[in-house]
Amino acid sequence: MRFPWSEEIAIDLGSANTLVSVKGAGVVVREPTVIAFDASGRRPVAIGLEAKRMLERDVTGVRVCRPVRGGVVADFDAAVTLLRALVSQALGKRPLISPMVTTSHPNSSTSVEQRALVQVVRAAGGGEVLTVQRALATALGAGMPVDGDVSRMVIDMGAGVTNVGVIAMGMTTAGVSVRHGGDDLDEMIRRAVRRAQGIRISPASAEQVKLRVGTLLEHEEHESMRVDGVAADGEKGMSLDIPLTGVPELLMRGLARAMSEIMWLLEDLPPQAQTEIAANGAILTGGGALLGGVDAYLAERLGIPVAVATDPMSCTILGLESILNAPQAVSLDGRRFRA
């Protein structure tokens, strides 16, 4: 039941980060989607950035959990505990009336996965929950015109999922979600280092390597980066210099799976939609959009113009915020939000 005095919030529950926006106040919470529990696994000891630092430093005596994987809830109880804390942080108090929540789900998520998301939000203190396709929210947040008849494309490259949508007439007319993202690129780096050096490095170290390189473009400088690792015989505390020369090529190969799915989606569109997207191109969002040269790489492979959004990391929450503030301005599957 809705009450006119209840709070209204938007939540972008991502694999890497969770953002919360409060109606009238904007985005007030931006934290890593990470939670740490004590040794018993029952009492939370850290959330967000503090928990992520524990994960990176491999702190003993705690269990660090990333409750969202591939864009969907993987650990229900941990997700509820984390989200409850972040909602409380966003509102600054425990509301008397459960807030209305607008959130999003990947295009290809199943009905079971969508129900799990709604249940997590409600268990974390939410009231009425509106969940929309992520592609539409991302397109809105990127400033893409969504209410006309012309088809446009948005490519959201997140940590756990690459979400692609074709937007027209205020709805997602076609889309695909590929359970492959930044986390998978990190894993490719880890495996490459282990094959070449015989050393196991942490996912956090692999992410730092990716961020240090930060591009798909090869360059002549023979840089290296010192990281800590574990030898094949189990010896800890080892440090080595990893050459960064081949990392851009590795990252490019890592994008191949998502690339093939996007190409298939384009080829399967009606001719008119193909022509419109060829003219208008695609907007690139998500953490993967920050890799240098990724827009040019996608444009060359797809044969369409590709532009990086102004604030690629915030597009989804900004789109959810738009729906929160003006639900009558957009539609989904021909229905007006909260009509």
The secondary structure of 171-184 as a DSSP string is: EEEEEEEES-SHHH
Indicate whether 65 and 166 sit together in one domain: no
pLDDT at 333: 46
pLDDT band at 116 (very low <50, low <70, confident <90, very high): very high
Give the Cα separation of 167 and 169 in Å (integer). 7
Give the Cα separation of 127 and 99 in Å (integer). 5
Give the Cα separation of 236 and 230 in Å (integer). 5
pLDDT at 56: 83
**185-223 pLDDT tens trace:** 999 999 999 898 888 888 888 998 998 888 888 766 668
Looking at the domain assignment, is residue 325 inside a domain? no
Q: Give the burial string for 104-129 (b: 16+ CB within 10 Å, else e).
A: bbbbbbeeeeeebbbbbbeebbbbbb
pLDDT at 53: 92
Indicate whether 285 and 164 sit together in one domain: yes
Indicate whether 294 and 147 sit together in one domain: yes
Average pLDDT over residues 57-70: 89
Indicate whether 66 and 201 sit together in one domain: no
Partnered with residue 336 across adjacent β-strands are 331
| CA-to-CA dists, residue 266 to 83, 151, 204, angstroms | 36, 11, 34
Comparing C-alpha atoms, which of 328, 338, 322, 337 is closest to residue 137? Answer: 322
CATH code assigned at 289: 3.30.420.40
Average pLDDT over residues 160-187: 92
Looking at the domain assignment, is residue 233 inside a domain? yes
Looking at the domain assignment, is residue 135 inside a domain? no
Rg (CA), the chain: 21
Give the Cα separation of 153 and 278 in Å (integer). 10
pLDDT higher at 290 or 232: 290
162-168 and 152-157 strand pairing: antiparallel
Q: Is the pLDDT of residue 3 over 80?
A: no
Give the Cα separation of 131 and 116 in Å (integer). 11
pLDDT at 95: 64
Looking at the domain assignment, is residue 132 inside a domain? no
Give the Cα separation of 211 and 157 in Å (integer). 15
Indicate whether 270 and 227 sit together in one domain: no
Indicate whether 65 and 43 sit together in one domain: yes
Residues of the domain holding 242: 182-252
pLDDT at 59: 83
Looking at the domain assignment, is residue 320 inside a domain? no
Q: Are 117 and 103 contacting, i.e. CB atoms less than 8 angstroms apart?
A: yes
Please report, rounded to a whole number, the percentage of residues in the chain having pLDDT higher than 70: 91
Looking at the domain assignment, is residue 335 inside a domain? no
Indicate whether 31 and 88 sit together in one domain: yes
Indicate whether 75 and 116 sit together in one domain: yes
pTM for this predicted structure: 0.90
CATH code assigned at 234: 3.90.640.10
Indicate whether 186 and 47 sit together in one domain: no
Q: Is the pLDDT of residue 335 over 60?
A: no
Helix axes 294-302, 256-267, angle to 10 degrees: 40
Residue 235 tokens read as 């010896």
Q: How many domains are there within the chain?
A: 3
Give the Cα separation of 12 and 18 in Å (integer). 6
Indicate whether 73 and 106 sit together in one domain: yes
Looking at the domain assignment, is residue 328 inside a domain? no
Q: Give the burial string for 189-226 (b: 16+ CB within 10 Å, else e).
A: bbebbeeebebbbbeebbbbbbeebeebeeeeeeeeee
Phi, psi of 89 (to 5 degrees): -65, -40
* Residue-averaged pLDDT of the chain: 88
Give the Cα separation of 232 and 133 in Å (integer). 44
Give the Cα separation of 3 and 7 in Å (integer). 9
Looking at the domain assignment, is residue 74 inside a domain? yes
Residue 270: partners with Cβ closer than 8 Å, 6 or more residues away? none
Any idea what the Cα angle at residue 73 is, between residues 72 and 77, rounded to 5°? 175
Indicate whether 162 and 192 sit together in one domain: no
Which of 202, 233, 252 delimits the end of a domain?
252
Q: Are 304 and 282 contacting, i.e. CB atoms less than 8 angstroms apart?
A: yes
User: Side chain identity at 132, as an amino acid letter?
Assistant: V
Average pLDDT over residues 73-92: 94
pLDDT higher at 174 or 236: 174
Give the Cα separation of 274 and 173 in Å (integer). 13
pLDDT higher at 332 or 131: 131
Give the Cα separation of 37 and 43 in Å (integer). 5
Indicate whether 236 and 260 sit together in one domain: no
282-285 and 306-308 strand pairing: parallel
